[in-house]
A = this chain, B = another copy of it.
Amino acid sequence: MKELSYFEEKMKDSQLIYDGRVLHVYKDRVDLPNGRTSTREYCKHGGAVAVVPLTKDGKVVCVRQYRYALGRVTLEIPAGKLDYPGEDHEEAALRELREETGYRTDKLTPIGNLSTSPALLTEIIYMYLAKDMTLGETDPDEDECLELLEIPLEELVDAILSGQVQDSKTQAAVLKVWAMKQKGMV
């Protein structure tokens, strides 16, 4: 296997195109390993967390919400941005779980990271499985209109396999939990 340096693209210069509330858009000129020069457009993102909340009777707590960029309602697992750079990922995951679903737990299992769109976004989602949950009050963000659903894990997996769930983190995280269960890992 070749070394990283064989592939590496080196920055010549970097231009901040748009510094928004959520999106921070950059356009960099880079030297490619093949000697050519190219440009790379991408968005910096502070990172996020997502949780597969599994109830004691084997249901996954999901969220329906309107996604403006897609122009439709999606079914997703609870998730949210880190509040500040360096925020503890598990604390953020527990906060999003609590705010969006009302569930609390002491038992989070990391199930890997997700790079949502490696060519365009620096966004990494830190994913967790939540078990042994207890139910309290929800506390959604002011601009979030959410609807909660509890869906049996097997039914949700079948919905994903038949193409009814589009969200990448939901597909990846739920299939991971299901596969880990098949292999006796969780």
- The interface of chain A, by Cβ under 8 A from chain B, is 1-2, 4, 6-9, 17-18, 20-23, 25, 27-28, 30, 32-34, 36, 38-43, 45, 64-70, 72-74, 76, 110-124, 142-143, 145, 147, 149, 157, 160-163, 166-169, 171-172, 175-176, 178-180, 182-183, 185
Contact = CB atoms under 8 A, between A and B. Distances in A.
Given A45-B120, A114-B166, A171-B176, 4 more contacts: A18-B18, A20-B25, A30-B68, A120-B123
Given A7-B65, A68-B42, A119-B69, A161 B176 contact: yes
B36 A143 contact: yes
B166 A113 contact: yes
A25 B18 contact: yes
> Copies of this chain, how many?
2
Contacts of A171: 112, 114, 171-172, 175-176
B41 A23 contact: yes
27 contacts: A1-B147, A7-B66, A17-B18, A17-B20, A18-B18, A22-B120, A23-B41, A32-B143, A40-B68, A43-B43, A43-B120, A45-B120, A69-B118, A69-B119, A74-B115, A74-B118, A112-B161, A112-B166, A113-B166, A116-B121, A116-B168, A117-B117, A117-B121, A161-B179, A168-B169, A175-B175, A182-B182
Contact of A161 (B118, B163, B185): B185
A65 to B, nearest CB: 7
B157 A179 contact: yes
A178 B179 contact: yes
Report, nearest first, the 5 A-B pairs whose CB atoms are least far apart. Answer: A112-B163, A175-B175, A7-B66, A42-B69, A168-B168
